[in-house]
Each structure stands twice: as C-alpha cells, then as structure tokens.
C-alpha cells in the first residue's frame, strides 16, 4: 500500500465571533495550506469539505464553501461530520489510486446559530428531543455515570481544564488561553451537574485545512512530509439509553485499528504526544482510557501524576485542546494540524521536544458516539 | 435585518428558518406510543439473538442487526443509572424551567436505559441506584411526555 503524507496545514485563529463569513474562513485556510505545502490550486486534484447543515443554517451547506476551497474544477465530496473523518475520506481517495493530492477543508461558525438548539437536534425527535437534551446535559449524564463508576473526582476533571487552558497560552490559534486553578474550575458556574462552565469547551468560529499527498507525488513537492501511519474509526449505537455511557469500546476499537496499522504495541511509550477531543474536561480522561494510555478508570490518576502535562512523558493536548477552542466541524482537523506542527518541530513555545509519533483524535455525535483515531509519524 | 457587530466593521444578517416536520413513528413507535397513551403501558422489545430488552422498542437490534418482534411489557418502576440537574435556560427546548433534573432510568425488565425527567424529587439528593416510578399525565397525547416524569419510589 502506498504511503500517504500530510504536506500542508493551516488554521484560522479560533474566536467567539469571527468577523469573517463561512467562505472567507474557508478561503483563508485553503490558501494558507497551499502556501504551507508550497503548492498552487492547480496541484490539487480533489477536495473534501466538512460542514454541517444545522450549524450553518443552510441545506447542503458544503456547496457554499466549494468555491472558497478551490473545488470548482475537481471532484469534491463532503463529510457531514468531524474533520478527522474528512482526512479519512481524503486518505481513501488517494489510496483508491485515482487521486494524488487532496485538500481537506473544515469550517464552523458556532456564532451563526444558537448552539443549544443545534445540539438538541442531534437527538431522536421521537424519543429524546422533547426532554430538552443537548450537548451539555447529555455530556453531564455521561460524566456522572463515568465518574461514579470509576471514582473519578471533580478535581481530577478540573485539572484537565487547568492544564489545557494553560497550554493554550502558547498556542496563537487558541480562543481561551487562561491562567486558572482547580479552585477556579470548581467554583465556576454549574451548568449541569457535575459539569461547570470551566469544564466545558466554548463554541468557536474557525476553519482548518489539511493537504494530503501520495508518496510518489510527495517526494518531489514536500521537504517535510508527516506520514499517516495508522487510522481507525468506530461508532457506538445512537440512542443514549442503548449505550453504556461510561463505556469506551467504540474508541478502543478505533484505536486498536489505528495502532495495528501503525505497528504500535505500547501507545503510552511509543507516542510522543496526543491531541484528543476534550469537548468537556472529563472526556480527556475517558478518551485516554479508550486510547489505552491507562486502564479503565485510570485517567484521573494519570492527570494527577503530571504525566500528560507539557514536560511530562506523554503531553496530552499541547495545543490547549478543544476546551480552549471548539470550532465544531474543524476541531478534529485542528487536532491533526497541531500534531503535524509538533512532528515538524514547528510548534514554537508549545513544542514537545523530540516528537516523533503523534496521535490525533476526533469524535462525532452525542457523548462521543463515534471516534476516529490517527497515528502520524515524522 | 442587518446589524453592525462590535467594532469589527463586519455586519451580520439576521433571519430565521421556519421548518415544520411530520416525524413518522413507524409501526413499532406507533404501537409503543398508542399503548402509552391509551393504557399507560410501557413496552420494550426483545432481541431474539442477544436477548437484550430495548426501551424504547425499535425495529432491529442495533448490535445483532436482527429484526425484533418479541414485545415485552415492562413495569412502571426502575433504577436510576445516571442523572444531572440542568441549571441553564434554553427557552423553547427545555420541557421545564431550570433547575430541573434529567436521568436515565433502567426500567424493571429492560436492559437499556430510558432518558427522562425526574420530578417530585429533592434536586440535591438524587443518587445513582435510586428506585423510581413513572408518573403518567392525565391527558396524554402519544409522546414521551405522556410519562410526566419519574419520581422516587415509595416502598
């Protein structure tokens, strides 16, 4: 199987109210990613966009950013889901043998709509929406179940928030660089027990683009390719009540596929850094368990130990994570972009020294119904 | 309407999407809600392969992918497997004014959980593992809120 590399990445600054429109944000990152890769739009032979109609308030919203993604003359397709799945789609297109270089663009302007109304619509209109379920209170149901089952404390969740907002201070793209303490998180406004304001990610405006290329083309155009070593994705069942919300078996399955493909047998030792989708602080702990960084229930002790801090053995979310910027469709793609910057040694003040293998993780659906895991190598 | 946003010079255009939907309940959902509305009965459905009893019932087992036809009558009582107290307002979406409690209830006889409201309950004294019972509305319309809420079981 031919190897595929990531040869260009670009992000907007993530913010609460971007003055740019959807297509302006998409154009900005598409142009910058081409510049980063040293390519022009003529070098791109296919594109993938990641958009969501409910967030954008338009039917077939993907078509509104095709012009801005340089898609008018090449085969383009859309992933109505997280940016990691957009990269998966781009990878599969290249592996089909029909394409050489894929531009993946994801964008989201959370400020366009009312996030609670949009996330209520995730749920089944026949059985769940009428209860007022949304992204925050469904996550609270999951957090409560997970924390109760494994004895995870609110302090341990708060520690994730403190760490990630601190890391964000070194990331010029992050929306919420903050100097906060565990006490600040615990005293922040209760949204839905046990989730408090500082346990929750903001909803951001922003875009991210990534360019993929097959090895035969990469050799001539890129001096610093970052290789896709492994990928896996898996989803759990749809209805909240049908799932054991404290369970991470879908992520375990996705991670196993990615690790098997990448030849990773001991992720904790072999991976230099991980960018995981921490939409809420407890999620980082759960996802670390699903990714096999520790046993089930060990996420709290892992964050307590300092293992996942900058300077620790396995820094998690050196970018500040999703807690520090959450452009909904682009957030998983931003995890990949950060992993690429780290592996190139271009992460500036947040650089993980000697980073060789990085993991990037995206989720979609309520409470991490689906997961996509990438293993990237320098 | 177009309004200026802050000092960025960028303007926003405000409008609204008006969409009405007629969600079809299907054969399974129609039967489930007819029984709930007309007889205050809560039914689950059993997978012939893994024997899991699902609530609400559905056409096929999400795990085994086989069709389910074996309806199982469930009790009105169950166990709380998780909960939260919602403390922020989301007008037009939330069924009650905050603060209100949401939970997932494993009804006796079922293996999966039913998300629902918790009522007649001290919001600060909710516990996982609590026994709860369904309280039905007097006037029922054939939707999930025909169960008004689940309240702590008096045993």
Quick: pLDDT tens for A253-268: 999 999 999 999 999 9
Q: How many CB pairs below 8 Å do chains A and B form together?
A: 113
Among B17, B88, B96, beta carbon nearest to A57? B17
Mean pLDDT of B136-145: 97
CA B78 to chain centre: 14
Q: Decide if A41 contacts A12 (C-beta within 8 A).
A: no
- CA A234 to CA A306: how far, in whole Å? 30
In this predicted structure, the answer to whether residue B102 has a pLDDT above a threshold of 90 is yes
> How close does chain B come to A195, measured CA to CA in Å?
9
pLDDT at position B10, please? 86
ipTM exceeding 0.90, yes/no: yes
Whether B145 maps to a domain, the answer reads yes
Mean pLDDT of A327-339: 97
Whether B63 maps to a domain, the answer reads yes
Among B56, B87, B145, beta carbon nearest to A190? B87
The answer to whether the Cβ–Cβ distance between A140 and B144 falls below 8 Å is no
Domain architecture of chain A: domains with CATH: 4-114+203-221 (3.40.47.10)
pLDDT at position A251, please? 98
- CA B23 to CA B29: how far, in whole Å? 11
Span A68-123, pLDDT tens digits: 888 888 999 999 999 999 999 999 999 999 999 999 999 999 999 999 999 999 99
pLDDT at position A72, please? 85
> How close does chain A come to B37, measured CA to CA in Å?
14
Q: What percent of chain B has pLDDT over 70?
A: 95
Whether B105 maps to a domain, the answer reads yes
Whether B1 maps to a domain, the answer reads no
> How close does chain B come to A242, measured CA to CA in Å?
5
The answer to whether the Cβ–Cβ distance between A131 and B115 falls below 8 Å is yes
Span A265-312, pLDDT tens digits: 999 999 999 999 999 999 999 999 999 999 999 999 999 999 999 999
Whether B3 maps to a domain, the answer reads no
* Nearest-5° Cα angle at A346, A26 to A258: 75
Whether B18 maps to a domain, the answer reads no
Whether B4 maps to a domain, the answer reads no
Q: Which domain holds residue B81?
A: 24-152
pLDDT at position A136, please? 98
> How close does chain B come to A342, measured CA to CA in Å?
32
Q: Decide if B49 contacts B61 (C-beta within 8 A).
A: yes
Q: Of B45, B60, B84, which to mutate for an interface test with A (greatest number of A Cβ within 10 Å)?
A: B84
Q: Indicate the number of domains in chain B.
A: 1
State the pTM of this model. Answer: 0.96
pLDDT at position A207, please? 97
The answer to whether the Cβ–Cβ distance between B114 and A241 falls below 8 Å is yes
- CA A124 to CA A116: how far, in whole Å? 15
In this predicted structure, the answer to whether residue A133 has a pLDDT above a threshold of 90 is yes
* Sign of torsion over alpha carbons A132, A136, A137, A141: positive
Q: Is B129 on the interface with A (CB under 8 A)?
A: no
Pick the residue from chain A with its C-alpha nearest to B60. A237
Structure tokens at B79: 């166990």
pLDDT bucket at A235, cuts 50 / 70 / 90: very high
Q: Of A239, A286, A370, which to mutate for an interface test with B (greatest number of B Cβ within 10 Å)?
A: A239
Burial call A133-143: b when 16+ CB within 10 Å, e when fewer: bbbbbbbbbbb
How do strand A357-364 and strand A273-275 relate by DSSP bridges?
A: parallel
Mean pLDDT of A130-158: 98
Beta-carbon contacts of residue A188 (< 8 Å; ≥ 6 apart): A196, A197, A198, A199
pLDDT at position A1, please? 74
Span A14-40, pLDDT tens digits: 999 999 999 999 999 999 999 999 999
Span A155-213, pLDDT tens digits: 999 999 999 999 999 999 999 999 999 999 999 999 999 999 999 999 999 999 999 99
DSSP assignment of chain B equals -EEE-TTSS-EEE------------HHHHHHHHHHHHHH--EEEEE-TTT-PEESS--SB-TTT--B--EEEEE-SEEEEEEEEEE-S--TTT-SSPSSEEEEEEEETT-SS-EEEEE-SS-TTS--TT-EEEEEE-SS--SSGGGEEEEEE---
In this predicted structure, the answer to whether residue B7 has a pLDDT above a threshold of 80 is no
The answer to whether the Cβ–Cβ distance between A17 and B6 falls below 8 Å is yes
Whether B126 maps to a domain, the answer reads yes
In this predicted structure, the answer to whether residue A148 has a pLDDT above a threshold of 80 is yes
> How close does chain B come to A120, measured CA to CA in Å?
8
Q: Which residue has the higher pLDDT, A222 or B71?
A: B71
The answer to whether the Cβ–Cβ distance between A132 and B102 falls below 8 Å is yes
Q: Is A268 on the interface with B (CB under 8 A)?
A: no
In this predicted structure, the answer to whether residue A330 has a pLDDT above a threshold of 70 is yes
Cβ of A125: how many Cβ atoms within 10 Å?
Answer: 11
3-class DSSP state of B100: strand
**Which residues on chain A are in Cβ contact (under 8 Å) with B30?**
none
Q: Decide if A5 contacts A218 (C-beta within 8 A).
A: yes
In this predicted structure, the answer to whether residue B118 has a pLDDT above a threshold of 70 is yes
Cβ of B134: how many Cβ atoms within 10 Å?
Answer: 22
In this predicted structure, the answer to whether residue A340 has a pLDDT above a threshold of 80 is yes
């Amino acid at each position: 199987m031919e190897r595929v590399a990531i040869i260009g990445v670009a992000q907007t600054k993530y913010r609460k109210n971007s003055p740019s429109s959807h297509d302006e944000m998409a154009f900005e990152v598409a142009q910058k990613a081409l510049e980063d890769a040293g390519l022009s739009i003529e070098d791109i032979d296919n594109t993938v966009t990641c958009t969501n109609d409910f967030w954008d308030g338009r039917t077939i919203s993907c078509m509104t950013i095709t012009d801005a993604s340089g898609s008018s003359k090449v085969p383009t397709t859309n992933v109505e889901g997280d940016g990691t799945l957009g990269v998966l789609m781009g990878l599969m297109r290249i592996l089909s043998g029909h394409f050489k270089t894929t531009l993946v663009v994801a964008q989201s302007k959370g400020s366009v709509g009312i996030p609670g109304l949009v996330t209520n619509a995730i749920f089944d209109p026949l059985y769940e929406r009428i209860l007022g379920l949304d992204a925050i209170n469904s996550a609270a149901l999951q957090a409560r179940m997970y924390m109760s089952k494994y004895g995870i404390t609110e302090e341990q969740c708060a520690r994730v928030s403190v760490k990630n907002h601190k890391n964000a201070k070194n990331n010029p793209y992050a929306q919420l660089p903050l100097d906060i303490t565990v006490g600040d998180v615990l005293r922040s406004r209760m949204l839905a027990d046990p989730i408090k304001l500082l346990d929750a990610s903001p909803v951001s405006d922003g875009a991210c683009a990534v360019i993929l290329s097959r090895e035969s083309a990469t050799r001539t155009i890129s001096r610093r390719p970052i290789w896709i070593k492994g990928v896996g994705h898996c989803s759990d069942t749809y209805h909240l009540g049908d799932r054991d919300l404290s369970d991470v078996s879908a992520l375990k399955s996705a991670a196993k596929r990615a690790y098997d493909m990448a030849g990773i047998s001991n992720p904790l030792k072999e991976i230099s850094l991980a960018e995981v989708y921490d939409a809420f602080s407890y999620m980082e702990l759960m996802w670390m368990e699903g990714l096999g960084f520790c046993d089930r229930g060990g996420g709290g002790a892992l964050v307590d130990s300092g293992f996942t801090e900058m300077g620790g053995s396995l820094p998690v979310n050196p970018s500040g994570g999703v807690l520090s910027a959450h452009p909904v469709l682009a957030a998983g793609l931003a995890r990949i972009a950060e992993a690429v910057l780290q592996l190139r040694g271009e992460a500036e003040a947040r650089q993980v020294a000697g980073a060789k293998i990085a993991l990037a993780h995206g989720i979609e659906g309520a409470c991490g119904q689906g997961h996509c895991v990438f293993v990237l190598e320098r | 309407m177009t309004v200026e946003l802050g000092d960025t010079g960028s303007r926003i255009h405000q409008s609204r999407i008006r969409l009405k939907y007629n969600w079809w309940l299907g054969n399974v959902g129609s039967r489930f809600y007819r029984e709930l509305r007309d007889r205050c009965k809560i039914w689950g459905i059993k997978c012939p392969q893994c024997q899991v009893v699902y609530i609400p019932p559905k056409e096929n087992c999400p795990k085994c992918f086989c069709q389910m036809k074996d309806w199982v009558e469930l009790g009105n009582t169950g166990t709380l497997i998780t909960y939260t107290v919602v403390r922020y307002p989301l007008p037009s979406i939330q069924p009650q004014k905050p603060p209100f409690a949401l939970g997932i209830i494993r009804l006796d006889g079922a293996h999966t959980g039913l998300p629902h409201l918790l009522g007649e309950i001290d919001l600060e004294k909710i516990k996982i593992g609590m026994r709860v019972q369904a309280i039905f509305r007097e006037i029922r319309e054939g939707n999930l809120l025909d169960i008004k809420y689940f309240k702590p079981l008096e045993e």
